Amino acid sequence: MQVRNTANRFGVVTIGFHWLVAATVFGLFGLGYWMVDLSYYDDWYKTGPDIHRSTGILLLMIMTLRLAWRFISPVPRPLPNHSRFEVLAAHGAHALLYVLIFVAMISGYLISTADGSSISVFDWFDVPSVTGRIKGMEDTAGLVHYWSTWALVALAAVHGLAAIKHHLIDRDDTLRRMLGTDRRQS
């Protein structure tokens, strides 16, 4: 399999980014959903949020690389059987997925650094606050984080269902291209 995308196929780097980000987003969502109900005396009260923040910072770095890679290695052209509506909907959904991921990560960062403290990423390095102390920022950022993550997961689910529709009903290579098993040649 090729490293870079071609006009007809996704390369291994793009495929790797796609599935790594998808798994991480759903993992972070599940962890975040679970940890909001932890009590102060729960063993995971501090550990859960630490893992969530650390993984979120790493995801921000991965998404920055993914976005740069998208400019270096443009995505393949749409399949010929896709309607104009499907192509426009896919472009819009992908753009919105990127926006929602970055909004979720930045708002999560702002929640954690609203008191001026830094975020320790698995004790490997610290990411300092760029805002300092801003009273009430964690509440506003918390609302943005809450709604952007729910919107992100909902849109990702629709995205996945669309891929399954293309695979089972249209019987085209949409899903196979992102699995690296499409029938087309470069």
The predicted structure's pLDDT at residue 186: 45
State how far the Cα of 56 lies from the Cα of 72, in Å rounded to an integer.
Answer: 24
Q: Give residue limits of the domains in the chain.
A: 12-179
Phi-psi region of 136 (alpha: psi -120 to 50; beta: other; left: phi over 0): left
Stated as kind and residue range, the H or E segment containing 120 is strand 119-121
Q: What is the pLDDT of residues 68-122, one digit of tens each?
A: 999 999 999 998 899 999 999 999 999 999 999 999 999 999 999 998 999 999 9
Paired strand residues for 36:
none
| 183, 173 contact by CB (below 8 A) | yes
Q: What is the pLDDT of residues 124-173, one digit of tens each?
A: 999 998 887 878 889 999 999 999 999 999 999 999 999 999 889 989 88
More confident of the two residues 9 and 26: 26
Calculate the alpha carbon distances from 144 to 27, 105, 173 in Å. 19, 10, 36
Query: Which residue, 70, 51, 59, is CA-closest to 152?
Result: 59
State how far the Cα of 57 lies from the Cα of 121, in Å rounded to an integer.
Answer: 7
CATH 1.20.950 fits 12-179, yes or no: yes
The predicted structure's pLDDT at residue 184: 61
Q: Which long-range contacts (CB under 8 A, 24 or more apart) does 126-131 make?
A: 127/57
Q: What is the DSSP string of 145-186?
A: HHHHHHHHHHHHHHHHHHHHHIIIII--SHHHHHHT--S---
pLDDT for 2 beyond 60? yes
The predicted structure's pLDDT at residue 8: 86
CA–chain centroid gap for 185, Å, is 29
Q: What is the pLDDT of residues 61-71, one digit of tens each?
A: 999 999 999 99
